[in-house]
Homo-oligomer: A and B are copies of this chain.
Amino acid sequence: MIEQVTAYIDENRNEFVNRLQGFLRIPSISTDASYNDATRQAAEWVRSHFEWCGIEASIVETSRHPCVIADSGPNGGGPTILVYGHYDVQPIGDPSLWTSPPFEPRIDNGRLFARGSADDKGQVTTHLMAAEAWMKAAGKLPIRVKYLIEGEEEIGSPNLLDLIKQQRDRLACDYIAISDTSKFDEKTPAITYGTKGLVYKEITITGPDSDKHSGSFGGTIVNPANELARIIASLKDDKNRITIPGFYDDVRKLSKSERKRLAELPFSDKKYAKLLGVTRLAGEKGYTTLERRWTRPTLDVCGLFGGYQGPGSSTIIPAKVGAKVSMRLVPDQNPSKISKLFDKAVMAAASPGVKVSIQNFGNYAAYVSPMDTDGMNAAIAAVEKGFNRAPVLIREGGSLPILPMFKKVLGADSIMMGFCLPNCNAHGPNEFFDLDDFHNGIRSAAHFLNELASQ
């Protein structure tokens, strides 16, 4: 049957792109409540696609953004797969940096530009189109497949743990399949076997009761902006190591064999720097770029705000300033512990005379999956067939908070087949998905079900 299925995929190549464009037109930004109508609309788009394919699907409410759960039903044998993805997207950032409006998909030179084209609507859609191809060309899916497409991934999936606990039986599966990572490079597809955890913080510093004249009052009180800079600077040393006491205590050591495997990947520092538009790489001393990227914890300021930001000058001591900080964790670091250590270090660094407060916006562990399972082998074979090229096995610096949750609640490991390019501008302006990769991703997703059915 797989021949008919892949034929259907090839015939509908353009039609599938049209479908994706419709999905991308919905501005489903989850962090900003003013887009709540859009997140609901995106969930409904997913649900109705399943309905149209003949797969039972329903919307499950959470306290914030709804989730879609679908199920192809009992199949009389073979493993059960749960496809997980998300329809929500990151905010667009500075609109002036986008070549075209982020929610008006534009195709240029074989690439589809739009917020969410790669992360994750485009990649979710590969599985949706693969399901359609099986249903329309073969009349049914070759194994039982369940789908869980959520709307809160970009804000740290605050309601998902409760939801999967609640729906544990409905979601029961042997493996979880996820396409929310990327290829290794333009030529090479990849299966990702590890992701980092995340602790996300917002530090706010309040000083005088209102903005004060920097001349009349400068030199007599703690300036919250200088103070924020000082506290942030204190979190790293001159070797780019994080100075938070205890931060590295539980970090799992990199094995010799993994260091060797990473070193063998066809990776060029020079090309990577060019890809990011920087003249030089940097980071923690003693590790290669890929080791820092995938296996070492990091601390990055994601935003700074406060005081005068307009054109020219305004001579004030700002009353209030803040910073957003993302820490990426590696296996065995406990996010709750790291969160507390961060708070403690920031409060210890703070001067008296200002009020420092810290908010949490994300707190989840890293994940590394076992390598030698039937599911992993099926994924490797499927991606090779989908892309006509064998995938490499890699880790990822990004976080998928749901992976350790799935393992804990459903007892199943996750298999990450990433189809977009590493420079696809996920989270940044001009995010894109290569249309060849979209097509080969759909083929891989279809083959994956076939490979599992054939075992």
Does B315 contact A32, Cβ atoms closer than 8 Å?
no
Copies in the complex: 2
Contact with B along A7-32 (1 / 0, CB 8 A): 00000000000000000000000011
Select A283's contact among B219, B277, B283, B296, beta carbons within 8 Å. Answer: B219
List chain B residues, Cβ under 8 A from A328.
214-215, 218-219
List chain B residues, Cβ under 8 A from A397.
213, 215-219
A60 proximal to B (CB < 8 A): no
Which partner residue on chain B sits nearest A233 by CB separation? B233
A265 proximal to B (CB < 8 A): no
Question: In the complex, how many angstroms separate the beta carbon of A182 from the nearest chain B beta carbon?
Answer: 8
A266 proximal to B (CB < 8 A): no
Select A313's contact among B93, B200, B272, beta carbons within 8 Å. Answer: B200
Which partner residue on chain B sits nearest A195 by CB separation? B215
Does A210 contact B306, Cβ atoms closer than 8 Å?
no
**Quick one: given A32-B311, A212-B276, are A323 and B236 in contact (CB under 8 Å)?**
no
Does B324 contact A422, Cβ atoms closer than 8 Å?
no
List chain B residues, Cβ under 8 A from A273.
221
List chain B residues, Cβ under 8 A from A230.
229, 232-233, 236
Question: In the complex, how many angstroms separate the beta carbon of A259 from the nearest chain B beta carbon?
Answer: 16
Which partner residue on chain B sits nearest A352 by CB separation? B280
List chain B residues, Cβ under 8 A from A207.
278
Contact with B along A289-304 (1 / 0, CB 8 A): 1001100111111111
A138 proximal to B (CB < 8 A): no
Does B226 contact A277, Cβ atoms closer than 8 Å?
no
Question: In the complex, how many angstroms separate the beta carbon of A290 from the nearest chain B beta carbon?
Answer: 9
Select A210's contact among B229, B277, B284, B319, beta carbons within 8 Å. Answer: B277
A52 proximal to B (CB < 8 A): no
Does A301 contact B398, Cβ atoms closer than 8 Å?
no
A429 proximal to B (CB < 8 A): yes
A51 proximal to B (CB < 8 A): no
Does B324 contact A307, Cβ atoms closer than 8 Å?
yes
Does B314 contact A31, Cβ atoms closer than 8 Å?
yes
Instruction: Name A162-221 residues within 8 Å CB distance of B.
Output: 182, 195-196, 198, 200, 202, 207-221
Q: Please classify how large the interface on chain A is, using the bins under 10, 10 to 19, 20 to 34, 35 or more.
A: 35 or more
Does A300 contact B211, Cβ atoms closer than 8 Å?
no
Does A214 contact B307, Cβ atoms closer than 8 Å?
no
A90 proximal to B (CB < 8 A): yes
Which of A223, A308, A398 counts the most chain B CB atoms within 10 A?
A308
Select A362's contact among B305, B310, B313, beta carbons within 8 Å. Answer: B313
A377 proximal to B (CB < 8 A): no
List chain B residues, Cβ under 8 A from A284.
219
List chain B residues, Cβ under 8 A from A31.
310-314
Does B213 contact A398, Cβ atoms closer than 8 Å?
yes
Which partner residue on chain B sits nearest A290 by CB separation? B220
Which partner residue on chain B sits nearest A215 by CB separation? B398
Tell me, in angstroms, the Cα distance from A428 to B229 when the chains sit together: 22
Tell me, in angstroms, the Cα distance from A304 to B202 when the chains sit together: 15
A91 proximal to B (CB < 8 A): yes
Which partner residue on chain B sits nearest A226 by CB separation? B301
A155 proximal to B (CB < 8 A): yes
Interchain residue pairs A-B with the least CB separation, the first 10: A209-B277, A215-B398, A303-B307, A225-B301, A233-B233, A229-B232, A303-B308, A280-B353, A218-B298, A313-B361
A to B CB contacts below 8 Å, 22 in the list: A31-B310, A31-B311, A155-B313, A196-B215, A198-B215, A210-B428, A210-B429, A213-B397, A213-B426, A216-B398, A219-B296, A219-B297, A220-B293, A225-B302, A226-B299, A229-B304, A230-B232, A282-B352, A302-B314, A304-B305, A304-B318, A315-B427
Chain A residues with CB under 8 Å of chain B are 31-32, 90-91, 93, 97, 155-156, 182, 195-196, 198, 200, 202, 207-223, 225-226, 228-230, 232-234, 236, 272-273, 276-284, 289, 292-293, 296-319, 321, 323-324, 326, 328, 351-354, 361-362, 396-399, 422, 425-430
